[in-house]
Amino acid sequence: MNDWREIRTMSREEMMKRVARFRKLKGSDGGLPDSPLPECRRKLYAVIGFQPPEDRASNATTSPVGEDASAMPAIAIAEGFNLGYCKARPGRGPLMHNHDTNETFIAMTGRWRCEWNEGEAMQYVDLAPYDVISFPPGVARRFMNVTYDEPDREHLLMFVIGGNSPQAEFTPAAMRRCEQYAAAKTKTPVKRPKARSARAARAPT
């Protein structure tokens, strides 16, 4: 490891590998257990870091930005933290999940509701642009765009997550919701014969 006290010169070419232009970011709307759910549809952008988790305890454990986005960070470095964006319409956001490191949210546009705990213990706070909330490891949390006066507009939330390869784990209740949705989608509707019209019923055979 280099001694940071030894000032070094970096070329423009080297530094430009650490520049992320927002208009060029590649986001993903898949790769997470809750991605298919209508109320969870959002696009996640891995800007800095997000190496895939090394050890996964269960199917509920994944990269915070999902398999797809974690494979294409704009700045692929491992320096102890990760930064990304979420873009979503009002009423949408992830299901309850937990992290193994700190997760900090900064509202960039619109209003975002950040909830924590589940069931009767649930609490929430709403963030306006540039407001911040910082969740410690081990606390179940979720966020949702609540800018309901702009129903068709997507808004942006920034998140900063500690570590080099952080893990997110969806709660048992969240995984049950995913399983119920998947089961409902795979059910084949019963095909009923079309009813004959009154004229067809009276027609001679």
How confident is the model over 100-158, as pLDDT tens digits? Answer: 999 999 999 999 999 999 999 999 999 999 999 999 999 999 999 999 999 999 999 99
Does the residue 9 lie in any domain?
Answer: no
CB 169 within 8 A of CB 58: yes
CB 91 within 8 A of CB 188: no
Report which secondary-structure segment, H or E, holds 130.
none
For residue 203, pLDDT over 60 is answered with: no
Output the domain CATH number for residue 48.
2.60.120.10
Question: What integer pLDDT is reported at residue 65 of this predicted model?
Answer: 95
High-pLDDT (> 70) share of the chain, %: 89
Does the residue 200 lie in any domain?
Answer: no
CB 140 within 8 A of CB 116: yes
Mean local confidence (pLDDT), 32-43: 96
Does the residue 16 lie in any domain?
Answer: no
For 57, the domain range is: 23-178
Beta partners for residue 106, in sequence order:
132, 158
Distance of CA 34 to the CA centre of its chain: 9
Residue type, position 78, single letter: A
Would you place residue 54 in the very low, low, confident or very high pLDDT band (cuts 50, 70, 90)?
Answer: confident
Q: Global pTM?
A: 0.86
